[in-house]
Amino acid sequence: MTLSMAWVRNVGDQQELVFSSDSRLRWAGAWDACQKIFPLSRGDCAIAFAGDTKFAYPFIHAAINAIELHRGSSRRQIDLFEAKSVLLNSINAMLSELRDFCVGQDQFEEPDLRLIFGGYSWKKKQFALWKFHFNNGEREFRSAEIAEWEGMGTNRKLVVLGDPNASPSTLRRAARTNGTAVEVDEDIEAIAKRALINLLDSRSLRGGSGLNLEPLEVLRDLIRSDSSPYIGGAPQIVKVYQHMNVQPFGIRWPSNEGRVAVLGRILPAGEKLHVPILDPETLMTERQDRLLFAEQQSGQTPARSVP
């Protein structure tokens, strides 16, 4: 169960691509320390998921290997748009190897999974985002490039994936499998989009241009509100920059007095990771992260810098 987002953030006259998600997986209970965003070794892109982990984790690791073992892709000799095809082909090739189905089944069940892939294109000199979804008619995953958010200002490129959601495809899947349809008030994706619109309205930004960190604020507040059993744990944050480098961020959780979480995992005492750390209240980063743990031990407050 997941709420994953990616959007192009405006920072002055520059842009960056931000991925964010919660950290909860559910099986026998809630496991709030699970990675859902995966930077790729090319350094200019990342992938995130929403949905069934029995498909998500094998697919994502296959995609990571496909990117790393493809010389042109791993060295960024091919552009992001071509790397997207390498990644998509690797997922579908792996899916085609499913066999030996349960009694009474002649094909695999429809994967309840969607993926976000995005990064910076050196050919087009812009950020690009795609949503990967399963096409049940063709029995394979397809990609759809994300365009600007219609009716919500200008220069806003955003994708929000929530699981569960009450999309037409989800309702059709429930009908085919005699499953339980998602109730509207449980639709994580719709809840997040409404919350984002309300936040922009409250700041008179609905008709504005570009996004800052508003989607991250929505994710943070939805997790804290404990309004849904489907999302939880510390927010995960990964940024892709125009200089074609990818950077995971840590966050203090559940407050600015809390422990540091990176990609969902709460760091145990004494572990050092040299990554920028976000304050969950201000969303400002702490400078001099190499001195972070020494400052904690001495009781000093780390210095802050702009996000």
Domain that holds residue 134: 2-249
Residue 145 in domain: yes
Mean pLDDT rounded to a whole number for the chain: 89
Please report the DSSP string for 179-244 in residue order: -PPPPGGG-HHHHHHHHHHHHHHHTT-TTSBSB-SHHHHHHHHHHHHT--TT--S--EEEEEETTS
Where do runs of H (alpha helix) occur along the chain? 53-69, 71-74, 80-95, 168-177, 188-202, 214-225, 292-298
Whole-number pLDDT of residue 217: 98
Percent of the chain with pLDDT over 90: 72
293, part of any domain: no
Question: What SS3 state is found at 7?
Answer: strand
Question: Would residue 42 count as lying in a domain?
Answer: yes
Q: Is residue 185 part of a domain?
A: yes
Return d(Cα 57, Cα 59) in angstroms, integer. Answer: 5
Measured in whole angstroms, the distance separating CA 112 from the mean position of its chain's CA atoms is 16
pTM given for the model = 0.90
Residue 112's pLDDT is what? Answer: 87
pLDDT (tens digit per residue) in 49-94: 999 899 999 999 999 999 999 999 999 999 999 999 999 999 999 9
pLDDT of residue 34: 96
Tell me if 225 is assigned to some domain: yes
Per-residue pLDDT reduced to its tens digit, 113-135: 999 999 999 999 999 999 999 99
- Residue 179 has a pLDDT of 67
Domain presence at residue 284: no
Q: Which pLDDT score is estimated for 307?
A: 60
Q: Sorting pLDDT into bands at 50, 70 and 90, what band is 288?
A: very low
**Into how many domains does the chain fold?**
1
The CATH number of whichever domain residue 20 belongs to comes to 3.60.20.10
Answer whether residue 177 shows pLDDT above 70. Answer: no
Residues 6+ apart with CB under 8 A from 150: none
In a domain, 30, yes or no: yes
